[in-house]
Structures are given as C-alpha cells and as structure tokens.
Amino acid sequence: MGIVEAILLSVITAATPLVLAAIGELVTERSGVLNLGVEGMMIMGAVSAFAITQITGSPYLGMLAGVACGALFSQLFAFLTLTLVANQVATGLALTLLGIGVSGMMGESFLGMQGIKLQPIAIPLLADIPYLGPLLFRQDIIFYLSIAIVAGVHWFLFRSRAGLKLRAVGDSHASAHALGVSVIRTRYLAVMFGGACAGLAGAQLSLVYTPQWVENMSAGRGWIALALVVFSSWRPWRLVAGGYLFGAVSISQLHAQAFGLGIPSQLLSSLPYVATIVVLILISHNRRMTLINTPASLGKPFVPDR
C-alpha cells in the first residue's frame, strides 16, 4: 500500500464520523430544531458501543448499542425542548456537558482495555478495482452506512412527502400546524434521527478510528459537525464534501508531524478548528445564499395555541 493510499484511507476514516454526526444534525435542523448536544450524543454512542462490544464480544452489537444510546439520549433533549419548551441552546449545551460526564463515569472500568475493531467488508468484484477498490470497497460497515444515509436523507428530504413535511415544519411551524402537520411529532422524530446518527458516529470512533475507550475521545468533533451543517447550507451532498475536507485537514496535521515539518505540533493540531472558523466566515459572507437555505424557524420553540 503506497503512502498516498494510506493517507487517503486515513482521511476517509477521519471524515466518516464527521459526516455521520452532521447528516443527523442536518435533518434535526431542517425540522427547525437546533441541537447543540451533538458532542454529548456522540460520546455517549462511543462509550456504549465500546462497552457492549466488550461485554458481548460482537462489535456489530456494540454498533447497534451506540445507535440506540444516541437516539435515547437525544430524546432527553427532545422532551425538554419540545414538550417542556426549554431553551434549545442552553439545553443542547447541557446535553453535551452531561454526555461527557456520564460517558466518563460509564467508561471508567473500560479504560485501557484492548478494543475489538469492526473488520472491513470487501465488496465482491468492486473491491478488485485498482486504486479505488481498496479505498472505497474494502471498508467497514459504518463507512458504507454513512454514504447510504446521506443518499437516503437526500432522497427523503427532496423526493418524499414525509421529507416535504419535515422541511415545511422547519420553514414555518405555524403554517405547518395550520395545515394539520404534527409539528411536535415531526421534531421528536428528527431529533431522534439526529441522535441515532451521532451515536453511530461515536461508535465509529471507539470501534474503527481508535478501537479503545479514552475519556472525552470525541474531542470536539461534534462541534465540527455542527459547523459542517452550516457549511453545507443544509444540503446533504455538500455536507459530504465538507466532511472530507475537514477530514483531510485533520489528517494532514498528523502526517505533517510525521514528516517532521518544522511547525509546532500545537499549531498543527489546531488546524481543523481554524478551518472551521475560516469556513464559517466565508459562508456568512454570502448572506443571500445562507438566508434562502436556512430553515426559517430554526431554534424557535413551537407552542400550539389551543
């Protein structure tokens, strides 16, 4: 395996959790809910995936546990913000802090354990294509899922009736309610989907990226995912492009260190976050584009007047 191939493989591995967490948040935000708890749901997914893998010996069961835990954890946010109409920003931040704390406690007995990695699945025929095969078709299931989910979300949002309703709820919840769309139910489901995706992203971290449990191992990826959603202007395929760009930036710092470039490592490891800020500035520059694509009722609580 050549060095280029190795670098590209590591970019894919680094980008997959970003894409997954971001596509979930994209659906949540399209329904008009701003969930800043991505980081917390991700870390909860990571710890429960690792724990169940250790207990059962099956990384697939672990992966499912990560998904379930992320989805369940997100429903705490949904209950607080949708049913009790708590402030979404504050509740999202609280969810992140809670997730980091609870995951640290849950994972204490798993610290330092040797993890079980999700093995790559080679797709017959396609895996033998030179160059492309080993990169794209000898991957673990979570990578395949990430691409399938993005394609599915694109189809769902822009081709299906349910997706149309979800976009309508995000654009104007009062109008959607007047038409008889159940705003609260739609948002509960969207938040749950976001949680499940963040949980899966977390599972990728503890089962593929670095198969072990380290406290706070999501390391700010949830925040990058949030920035990615804005970067993509709420469009699924643009989000993949952005995810891989960020993946590349975060990997390039590792390789730059390995090559011994004379740049302080602290500066290099801050690159993804610097890139986040730069991209957000560039995006906000194009106001027209942002305004047209932003779900108009993003972050606004809905209380039916009954």
Partner 1 sequence: MPVEGVAANGHLLAVSNLTKLFGSFAACNGINLQIEQGEIHALLGENGAGKSTLVKMLFGVLAPTAGEILWQGQSVRIANPAAARKLGIGMVFQHFSLFEALTVAENIALSMDANISLAKVAEEASRLSHAYGLPLDPKAHVADLSVGERQRIEIVRALLQNPRLIILDEPTSVLTPQEADRLFETLYKLKAEGRSVLYISHRLEEVQRICDRATVLRHGKVTGACDPKAETPSSLARMMVGSDVAAVTAEGTSAKGEVQLEARHLTVPARTPFAVSLKNICLKVHAGEVLAIAGVAGNGQGELFDALSGEYPVGDDSAVQIRQRPVGTRNINARRLMGAGFVPEERHGHAAVSALPLSDNLVLARSRSDAKAFLGGGFLKIIRRDAVTSATKRISEAMDVRKSGEDPPAGSLSGGNLQKFIVGRELDRQPSVLVVNQPTWGVDAGAASRIRQALVDLAKAGSAVLVISQDLDEIFEVATEIAVISDGRLSDPYPAQELSREKIGLLMGGMYGKTEGTEGAHAH
Binding site for partner 1 (CB under 8 A): 161, 164-165, 167-168, 171-172, 174-181, 287-288, 291-293, 295-296, 305-306
- Give the span between the Cα atoms of 118 and 142, in whole angstroms: 9
Question: In 78-96, which positions are buried (b, 16+ CB within 10 angstroms) versus exposed (e)?
Answer: bebbbeeebebeebbebbb
Nearer to partner 1 by Cβ, of 56 and 175: the residue is 175
Q: How far is the CB of 302 from partner 1 (least distance, A)?
A: 14
Contact 217, 50 (CB under 8 A): no
Q: How many CA atoms lie within 13 A of 259 on its CB side?
A: 12
Nearer to partner 1, 117 or 300 (CB): 300
Question: What minimum distance in Å lies between the beta carbon of 173 and partner 1?
Answer: 10
Can you tell me which residue has the tokens 């948040």?
25
Q: Which is nearer to partner 1, 119 or 175 (CB)?
A: 175
Min dist. Cβ of residue 31 to partner 1 (A): 13
**Cβ 99 vs Cβ 44: under 8 Å:** yes
- Closest approach of Cβ 301 to partner 1, in Å? 17
Helix/strand/coil for 238: helix
Q: Measured from the CB atom, is 149 or 153 closer to partner 1?
A: 153
In sequence order, what E strands does the chain have?
121-122, 138-139
Q: Report in angstroms how near the CB of residue 293 gets to partner 1 at its nearest.
A: 8
CA distances to 39, 78, 206, 251 from 189, rounded to whole Å, are 19, 9, 26, 34
Alpha helices in 85-220 (DSSP H): 88-106, 132-136, 141-159, 161-171, 173-178, 183-204
Which residue, 134 or 295, is less far from partner 1 as judged by CB?
295
Of 292 and 303, the one with the shorter C-beta distance to partner 1 is 292
What's the min distance (Å) between Cβ of 305 and partner 1? 7
Q: Nearer Cβ to partner 1, position 57 or 185? A: 185
Count of C-beta atoms within a 10 Å radius of residue 27: 26
What's the CA gap between 249 and 241, in Å, rounded? 12
**Residue nearer to partner 1 on the CB measure, 117 or 154:** 154
Distance of closest approach, residue 135 Cβ to partner 1, in angstroms: 37
Q: Which residue has the tokens 């849950």?
A: 106
Contact (CB, 8 A) for 37 and 79: no
Return d(Cα 172, Cα 175) in angstroms, integer: 5
Report, in Å, the least distance between residue 159 CB and partner 1.
Answer: 8
